[in-house]
C-alpha cells in the first residue's frame, strides 16, 4: 500500500487594517491565490491570534485605532521573527518608510497599489518566513542535541571544536585517548553532526563560550 504524503501546510496571511473595505478586498485576493486569510481590525486582535507553525506574513496598516503599525512592528520584532511585515498606508513619508524598512519590513506600499505588486510582496514574505521557520527548527534540534549531552561530553565537545586532537583533549581532562574517542562518538551521534566542521558550525550557532 503506497504511503500517503502529508499535504503541505497552507501559508497564512494576516491583515491588520481598520478599514473593512480594505480587509474584504484583500481577503478575496489572498484566498484566490490559495493562501489562508486572517483579518484583524486592530493590533489587539492580531496579538490575540495564535502563533502559526506555517509560513506566514503580516499586511499591516500604519494608522490603527489602538497601537499604530510601527509600534506593533516593534512589539513583535523579537517574538514573531518568522512573520515578515508588509506595510500599507494611505499616507506616508520618507522617515516613516526608512524606520519601517530598517526594522525589518519587506515592503512599504502606498494605497492604492496594484494587486500584482502586493501578491509579489506576499510571495517574497512567505518565502522569507519559510526559511526562518526552517532555521528555527534546525536551531531547536541543535539545542536539543546539546541538552542531551552529559557534562563530560560537553567538555569533550568544547575542546574538540576548539581544535584539540583526541590526545590533547585527554590530557586536558585527565582521561585516556580511547575514552575521548568514545565520548567524541557520542557527541557526534547526539548532535547529529556529519563531520567536525558541521559540529563547529553547530557550536557557533549555539553561541557557546570557547573552551
Q: Cα 64 from chain centroid?
A: 26
136 close to 122: Cβ distance less than 8 angstroms: no
Model confidence, pTM: 0.77
Task: Compute the chain's Rg from CA coordinates.
Answer: 24
Residue 93's CB is within 10 A of a number of other CB atoms, namely: 9
Burial class for 46, CB neighbours closer than 10 Å (0-12, 13-18, 19+): buried
Strand order across the beta sheet in which 107-110 lies: 36-40, 12-16, 56-61, 85-89, 107-110
Q: pLDDT at position 199, please? A: 95
| pLDDT mean across residues, the chain | 89
DSSP string of 81-116, one letter each residue: TTS-EEEEESS--HHHHHHHHHTT-SEEEESS--HH
3-state class percentages of the chain: helix first, strand second, coil last, to nearest 5 = 55, 10, 35
> So what's the pLDDT on residue 80?
72
CA distance 79 to 122: 20
Rounded to an integer, the average pLDDT of 198-206 is: 94
Give 70's pLDDT tier (boundaries 50, 70, 90). confident
Interatomic CA distance for residues 160 and 198, integer angstroms = 12
Amino acid at each position: 500500500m503506497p504511503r500517503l504524503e502529508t499535504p503541505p501546510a497552507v501559508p497564512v496571511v494576516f491583515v491588520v487594517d481598520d478599514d473593512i473595505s480594505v480587509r474584504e478586498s484583500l481577503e478575496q485576493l489572498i484566498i484566490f491565490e490559495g493562501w489562508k486569510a486572517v483579518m484583524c481590525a486592530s493590533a489587539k486582535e492580531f496579538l490575540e491570534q495564535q502563533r502559526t507553525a506555517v509560513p506566514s506574513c503580516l499586511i499591516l496598516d500604519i494608522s490603527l485605532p489602538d497601537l499604530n503599525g510601527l509600534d506593533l512592528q516593534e512589539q513583535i520584532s523579537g517574538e514573531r521573527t518568522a512573520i515578515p511585515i508588509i506595510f500599507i498606508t494611505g499616507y506616508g513619508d520618507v522617515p516613516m518608510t526608512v524606520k519601517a524598512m530598517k526594522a525589518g519590513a519587506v515592503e512599504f506600499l502606498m494605497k492604492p497599489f496594484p494587486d500584482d505588486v502586493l501578491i509579489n510582496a506576499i510571495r517574497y514574505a512567505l518565502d522569507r518566513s519559510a526559511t526562518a521557520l526552517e532555521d528555527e527548527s534546525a536551531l531547536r534540534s541543535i539545542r536539543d542535541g546539546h541538552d542531551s549531552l552529559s557534562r563530560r561530553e560537553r567538555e569533550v565537545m568544547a575542546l574538540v571544536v576548539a581544535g584539540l586532537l583526541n590526545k590533547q583533549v585527554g590530557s586536558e581532562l585527565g582521561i585516556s585517548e580511547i575514552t575521548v574517542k568514545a565520548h567524541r562518538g557520542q557527541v557526534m551521534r547526539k548532535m547529529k553532526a556529519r563531520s567536525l566542521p558541521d559540529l563547529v558550525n553547530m557550536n557557533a550557532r549555539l553561541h557557546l563560550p570557547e573552551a
